[in-house]
A = this chain, B = another copy of it.
Amino acid sequence: MRVVNVIKALNVRINRLSRGEHASVAVHLNQSTFYRHLYLTSQKDLYSCFQVCCDRDMLKIPDHQVAGHEARVGKLGPLIDDSGRFYKPLQSDKRGSEEVAFYESFSSNTEIPEHIRRFFPIFYGTKVMKASTGAEHPHIVLQDIASSRINPSVMDIKIGARTWAPESSEAYVAKCLRKDRESTSVPLGFRISGLRVYISDELGFYKPHRDAIRKAGPDDVKLLLRKFISSNPSAEMETDPDCSLASSVYGGPDGILAQLLELKAWFEDQTIYHFYACSILFMYEKGLALKGASSNAEVKLIDFAHVTEGRGVIDHNFLGGLCSLIRFLSDILKETTKFTVENGQVEPEESGLI
């Protein structure tokens, strides 16, 4: 796309600007937002900013991100481009290099079955990217798992009662243990890290504040899992969401529960990796589901900065949390639909209602 055309289409908004200061520019183009931060002092700088954006395949902030670091002024965060790639800045401590090491190991490991590989983002390598300040920073280049979606509803669930690996330092154990005990990780084996649920084009998304999610107890988690597949998620006082999309999102042969059961079978067997502090992402398209079309429900695993070698032992910490999550979804399905979980399969009950 030529720069001149971009500028014609632009609705420019300068969020903050004072002389010589580190300022941010949000550029809205065809309903997407791309974002740069730079020393912005003149019209020439602004023009140069657009040029950089265009040269870089229109890097944007992913708006479906519900947890983790976010890009903002002076702070690195993930970016996406129009070709379906996701650029995740390498964390500067060993977490960054360990996540790269995991992706390199995983992508070349021939023992991973194809039906399991699909639960992981595709890895395209690493790339050093230049910020508008001129500073260079390495990024992991991954598949943008939401690139083909319109208004996806997303939930990020950190799996495992324990988010620290056995060989972690005392200080790190203490820090994680406190978080694990204060959240639902210890009692439930998982905790919700973030979510957003599509309501409508006009009203946008229901997205609880991070602080509210951080404080969520077992009952809140159950409620959020129900709100995620409800037509009335935003009613904060509502304690009985309708769960109207339970069968089309959680249930069925392609639903989230069926996908989790596939993962479970692999985790009962695999002893290659232990996934500490790793998240399971639920995604679906409520707009489609409300029209009676397929919800495109999908499960992905993300965040591998704390993966260790399994050394012949299964990841009992992840598996336990996964089984607990499966039980929660099964309960919702049992309460609201005619699906049952038998022998590791999600099946409609004999009534044939679904």
Instruction: Given A162-B161, A186-B166, check contact A314 B319 (CB 8 Å).
Output: no
- Contact between chains at A316 and B311 (CB < 8 Å): no
Interface residue? A233 (CB, 8 A): no
Interface residue? A317 (CB, 8 A): yes
Copies in the complex: 2
Instruction: Given A162-B161, A320-B320, check contact A313 B187 (CB 8 Å).
Output: yes
Q: Which of A7-39 contact B (CB under 8 A)?
A: none
- Contact between chains at B161 and A316 (CB < 8 Å): yes
- The segment from A55-63, A80-88, A129-137, A321-329 found at the interface with B is A321-329
A331 to chain B, nearest CB (A): 8
Using C-beta atoms within 8 Å of the partner chain, give the interface range for chain A.
20 to 34
* Complex interface: chain B residues within 8 A of A218 (CB): 311, 313
Interface residue? A343 (CB, 8 A): yes
A75 to chain B, nearest CB (A): 34
Interface residue? A189 (CB, 8 A): yes
* Complex interface: chain B residues within 8 A of A189 (CB): 313, 316-317
* Complex interface: chain B residues within 8 A of A177 (CB): 177
Closest 5 CB pairs of A and B: A320-B320, A316-B320, A189-B316, A316-B324, A166-B187
